[in-house]
Every structure is written in C-alpha cells, then in structure tokens.
Amino acid sequence: MLKRAILLVGHGSRRSEANEALVKLREMTERRRPGAKIAYGFLQFAKPNLREALDHLDDGELEEVTIVPVFLYDGIHMQEDIPSILAEEAVLRPHLRLVLAPVLGIDERMAEIIWDRVDAAPKL
C-alpha cells in the first residue's frame, strides 16, 4: 500500500489566532479519516512554513504527499509560489512524489454555510 500524507497549506498571518483556523481544519479533516497522516504549513508569516512541514512529514518511508492549498481562488500563490517551492523540494526529495491539488475554491456547499451565517447574524 502506498504510504501517503496530506499537507494543508494556508497563507499564514502575523496573528496566531488567525493561523489556528488551519490547525482546526487539519483536525476536522483527520477526524473524517482517522489514522490519515495530515499536516499543515503556511506560505508566509507563520510556522511551520511549507518546507518545514514537508520536513516533518518526510520520515523516509513516505512515498507521496498531496498538497492541498486552502485558498478560495487560483491566484499568484497557486500559479507561482507553491509550484516553485515544490519544484525545489522535488529535487531534494526524489523519493517523494509531491502532488499539488487544486485550491479549495468555490463550492456549491459553501452557499449553505453562508445562509447559516446570515441566519445566525445578530438582528438589529
């Protein structure tokens, strides 16, 4: 069986409480499939960064990491920054297949969440 992991990648913030959202998302994702190897990393302003997160995951036995960018749209980070980092890391880790998933993006399921938030908003 292929030994693989998931790496959630967020933008990162100077505010630690903002970065906690990615930590919580990792926990929620792991609860959906207990035993899955899931980590998180940030592009800027927070630790671990993307490279450090790969270091943490790469135990020498891992064969594949799917990198899931936690962004709403396919911007500069997806078009340039992440692919550049992954290309450099692929050279350093020839034993590890690095797969870049599409951004989370806009999904029909998000509309229901928006209505939940609207319904929960304080009424003046």
With cut-offs at 50, 70 and 90, classify the pLDDT of residue 2.
confident
Is the pTM value of this prediction over 0.85?
Answer: yes
pLDDT in tens, 31-82: 999 999 999 999 999 999 999 999 999 999 999 999 999 999 999 999 999 9
User: Helix, strand, or coil here: 58?
Assistant: coil
Residue 88: which pLDDT band, with cuts at 50, 70 and 90?
A: very high
pLDDT of 11-34, one tens digit each? 999 999 999 999 999 999 999 999
Answer whether residue 124 shows pLDDT above 90. Answer: no
8 A C-beta contact, residue 43 and residue 81: yes
For the chain, the structural domain boundaries read: 4-120
With cut-offs at 50, 70 and 90, classify the pLDDT of residue 1. Answer: confident
Give domain 4-120's CATH number out of 3.30.565.10, 3.30.700.30, 3.40.50.1400, 3.90.950.20.
Answer: 3.40.50.1400
Between CA 26 and CA 29, with CA 28 as vertex, the angle to 5 degrees is 65
Q: What is the CA radius of gyration of the chain?
A: 16
Measured CA to CA in angstroms, residue 114 lies from 13, 42, 106, 109, 124 at distances of 23, 26, 12, 9, 19
